[in-house]
Chains A and B, each alone.
Chain A
């Protein structure tokens, strides 16, 4: 079997294709919330920064008209200037406060929406996409990646906004004092723009590397935690340690490389500031000697240069952070871009006709996508057989009558589970069609499909809640008593009674407080309570003891009466009681019929499977 296409591989091609600006534009376009306040926030930012030039102007005025007033220092004049400037500062502070609060409110509201939207999208992705991604990396799409955007918007974004405002206002004031000196300052800073552009590109690559190493490190840590039992049982501490150490060290080294690049880029601003100050002094003195500039004006200009340098330096720093945020944003967009290849037809879709469901497979063909090939995940999945591995199911052509109970049997890897996944539309066939009660599966609304068709997978995942909460998953309005009744109907009342807290027993993370078999019982009860018309059990009782399984079988016989049931079975006990047995071998249906008919031919696939089963279960 081959690896399914991962969103990560699809994303890597997108990264190169999409520029920073288009990511930003798309990010903004995605959220109306973010755009709404933007104009107002920018106006506030302008006011907030305009006030900053009050100080250099006050100094110029203070020196020329106060300190160096013809009749000696004029305290009254200076006092007037200072009071006006202080007034401007207060207005500035107020605007800055309003701008900050506005930015926080708007960005957090928008990002909470984006988080939720992305979360939903991940659930809407097909099972193959979900499993192709590292679980941790999907989680980070709705957590740290969004956090990075939020940190940037509120911390870096404010500063960036203020910095650009400050640059603009400072330039205007500088030009007012002396256009020649303004040109000098710009000439000193022009090279910086190119240097920064160069480093930005290197930084983007460096942060990409950091990101990748963080992912590897997290995977290594998670393996250490989840595989704790196996690591102990085999005493492979040293091997695990060296894998961990390598991942941790790679991460550290990558972080340092990124930092070094960032510092080099940052120092460009410092160089420019020194050059600009020196050039202003030279040109300013020459201009002053020529009578074109007063001492106060030149001094104010030197202050203005620092006002010019600060935002350039800070903006450089923030542009680095912006790279991080944009990378995060891009990863979020990449997930959102991932087209759910098993899509809900939505309101345009059809409902299933009421009553029991029958199933038709026509020439169904399926093969898993191959990772190395062009990312099939980005387009619709129907790109025929391109980028697919060997056939897992081919030419499956069958009908399952309404209300019949069918067992699908066959060897491991023969395609049984794939059959179940296609039947419940966790995946779509590569060729052929599947219809439920005459309605093509792809046209059925998910709301209807998931309500009427329920599958119990082999690994019945439980949420960290009580047994009752897990069982009422699909029917949240059921009371604990009703749920107890459901267990009783399944013949499991004695098991529940044996638990200290009954149905309120907490199952722990992933249900790990229960044994594997007990988890399967809960998962089965969950499906039973969901009350579907088509029930698909994928080896749902594989870890349950035989007595319990037989008991469950009896009750399942009763509860599945009136519904269509497809059981993927590896214990042939199930097959014997089925209305029909479908034998799958190497991706094809090789036999169909009742157990007693099939077993009549001892040389058939089923005959051999059954003989082996009998040999294992007979008393001697």
Chain B
């Protein structure tokens, strides 16, 4: 627990180091505000003693003293306003800058960390790392300058009390120590409860996220009631956790409120005693009593900071996990010549395993020679998509090498790699941007003309031309305004627009009609690009110069379609499935026909 508070304080320390100027503004403002708050108490005390008492006792107002008193009171207020601006704006500026800075850093890491790292982390977690966790980590910045100012104020207040009367000062010290004690006890009791509530809040969010993501399945299966029950159970747990927080807060808040009041009463009693001894004046007693009244609220700020520290520590830990994550994909410096000629891709003894799991690929060796089209064929779940990811260096092999024009992919500079290879994934991903933005991705040399050319090649020209704003049409989050086939053709156009020397199609035409696909393939063929295509369709395979047949992560056979058809049972089974189904049906139809014929013949003969 103290560890959490300590860690939270270290996060605060980091914020101070990174935003020293704003911190100084905030604390400066806070100290000004606090000192003037104390000064205000003494001003009121002095005004009572020097102006009010004589005026009322003598039944005559002294105009000069009254004017001075009034001006001082207003001046104090003006000073406090200045302090307030400094404190609140300084703290806010510091807090928002730190949040923005760490949001940038976290999202930078998201962009730098390899896909394998992304696979290990849930989307919801990564979203909350960049949002809620960053917010929590730097939340205590908001009340911190107030708390620092309050501490200064307490020290000064105690000092000034000793200047007035040591007995009254001891009363003050006792009350302040009690206040701090209660504050510390409070934050100790409340922080585990707050953390528990925070955890549940994330769980409630996760359930909602998943359920809304699968809304279509929930709807088509009529499971709304059950899903609601699942959500209600989590919401109920959160409610109970919040109520547990409330019980602690509900007890400590009034206690913290009442303590300064009790202090004021004690001052009254002790002050009366000291007054009788002639050590203090009425004005002294009033000043000290007033001090407690104005201190009651600021002292709470210390409690706020303490209460937020553990949450901040948890948020920081989660943010730090991202910042400190290792295993970056390091790019090399080698570049491939910028030419129009197709590239050669070579896999040599490649193996791949998702972290801690069974290998999904073993000893995969094949080549896509320059200008050739190679079809990657295999049953569902045999590792084809993984091969596609390796070929575009989205992941690195755990064994063997992948090379482009003889240069290992890991030696290539990123710019050279992405300029050479384009991957069209199986599930099309569309940015919340215009059609133009999605196709060009602001890549140098990809202008509108290139975008239209690519759209034409991807058979997407006609539907884009029919959109209300053509290239400027926004496609919505994840392209929800487009049909599946349209999204796929848009991503295909994106790949073609860059003029890649090697194109990898990961079953990227599955949502496209046969005729459309045939046209796209013909265009690709004539462009003379090297193509690695994950395919099931006969026509796609027919266009390939070579077929690589994989089963359970191994290359079972390589060769022309005809050669494989002649000798590889699994391949034959896979690619002739439709024909065999037809043949079977034809046989059945023939048998039916023969039977009918026979029956008719029987009928005739009978």
Contact = CB atoms under 8 A, between A and B. Distances in A.
B393 to A, nearest CB: 8
A373 interface: no
A121 to B, nearest CB: 10
B205 to A, nearest CB: 5
Interface stretch (B151-159, B375-383, B447-455): B375-383
Given A93-B258, A236-B441, A576-B582, A116 B228 contact: yes
A228 to B, nearest CB: 5
A424 B219 CA distance: 10
A606 B197 CA distance: 60
B284 to A, nearest CB: 11
A270 interface: yes
User: Chain B at the A interface: mostly helix, strand, loop or mixed?
Assistant: helix
B211 A119 contact: yes
A256 interface: yes
B602 interface: no
A263 B142 CA distance: 13
Contact of B99 (A131, A252, A263, A411): A252
Contacts of A558: none
A518 B380 contact: yes
A229 B110 contact: no
Nearest to A134: B477
Given A63-B282, A232-B115, A233-B423, A616 B514 contact: yes
Nearest to A267: B81
B221 to A, nearest CB: 5
B222 interface: yes
Given A154-B246, A282-B70, A446-B222, A463 B214 contact: yes
A274 B76 contact: yes
B574 A510 contact: no
Given A67-B275, A285-B52, A616-B518, A544 B485 contact: no
B483 A514 contact: no
A542 interface: yes
A267 B99 contact: no
B145 interface: no
B380 A236 contact: no
Interface in A599-620: 608-609, 612-613, 615-620
Interface stretch (B5-13, B261-269, B338-346): B261-269
Contacts of A82: 265-266, 268-269
A249 interface: yes
Contacts of B61: 285-286, 289
Interface residues of A, number: 196
Interface in B543-576: 552, 565, 573-576
B180 interface: no
Interface stretch (A198-206, A218-226, A357-365, A400-408): A218-226
Interface in A35-56: 48, 52, 54-55
Given A104-B247, A123-B218, A609 B514 contact: yes
A140 B380 CA distance: 37
Given A59-B268, A224-B111, A248-B100, A274 B73 contact: yes
A120 B208 CA distance: 10
A474 B223 contact: yes
B178 interface: no
B400 interface: no
B477 A105 contact: no
Contacts of B243: 104-105, 108
Given A101-B247, A255-B92, A119 B293 contact: no
A550 B581 contact: yes
Nearest to A411: B513
A502 B112 CA distance: 35
B380 A218 contact: no
Contact of B293 (A54, A55, A446, A544): A55
B487 to A, nearest CB: 10
Interface string B466-501: 001000001011101111111000010010001000
Nearest to B76: A274
A123 B130 contact: no
B54 to A, nearest CB: 10
B380 A295 contact: no
A544 B578 CA distance: 13
B84 interface: yes
A545 B103 CA distance: 43
Contacts of A25: none
Interface residues of B, number: 183
Given A411-B513, A516-B426, A550-B580, A86 B542 contact: no
B429 A150 contact: no
A450 B221 contact: yes
B254 interface: yes
A446 B223 CA distance: 10
B422 interface: yes
B80 A281 contact: no
A490 interface: no
Nearest to A158: B253
A111 interface: yes
Interface string B276-306: 1000001001100110011001000000000
A96 B111 CA distance: 51
B273 A89 contact: no
A127 interface: yes
B174 interface: no
Contacts of A147: 201
Contacts, number: 517
B258 A617 contact: no
A547 B379 contact: yes
A212 interface: no
Interface string A450-463: 11001111111111
A121 B358 CA distance: 43
Given A289-B61, A615-B539, A67 B201 contact: no
B413 to A, nearest CB: 10
Interface stretch (B118-126, B182-190, B366-374, B591-599): B118-126
A582 interface: no
Given A274-B76, A299-B48, A615-B518, A542 B511 contact: yes
A195 interface: no
B577 interface: yes
A221 B218 CA distance: 26
Interface centre among A72, A134, A248 (most CB of B within 10 A): A248
A273 B84 CA distance: 14
A237 B111 contact: yes
Nearest to A254: B96
Contact of A123 (B210, B224, B271, B294): B224
Contact of A473 (B217, B273, B419, B429): B217
Nearest to B463: A413
Interface string B440-465: 01110000000000000000000100
A218 B537 contact: no
Interface in A439-476: 446-447, 449-451, 454-464, 473-474, 476
A616 B539 contact: yes
Contact of B483 (A112, A413, A426): A413
Contact of A546 (B239, B427, B536): B536
A105 to B, nearest CB: 5
Given A72-B276, A450-B220, A570-B513, A105 B246 contact: yes
B333 interface: no
Interface in A230-269: 230-237, 239-241, 244-245, 248-249, 251-252, 255-256, 259-260, 262-263, 266-267
Contact of B60 (A227, A255, A289, A549): A289
8 contacts: A78-B272, A82-B269, A221-B107, A229-B394, A256-B96, A259-B89, A542-B511, A609-B514
Given A221-B130, A545-B574, A576-B582, 16 more contacts: A73-B273, A132-B480, A143-B205, A154-B249, A233-B425, A234-B418, A234-B443, A236-B443, A240-B111, A286-B61, A289-B58, A307-B293, A412-B484, A447-B222, A450-B223, A617-B539
Q: Which 4 A-B pairs have the closest CB atoms?
A: A450-B222, A274-B77, A104-B246, A616-B539
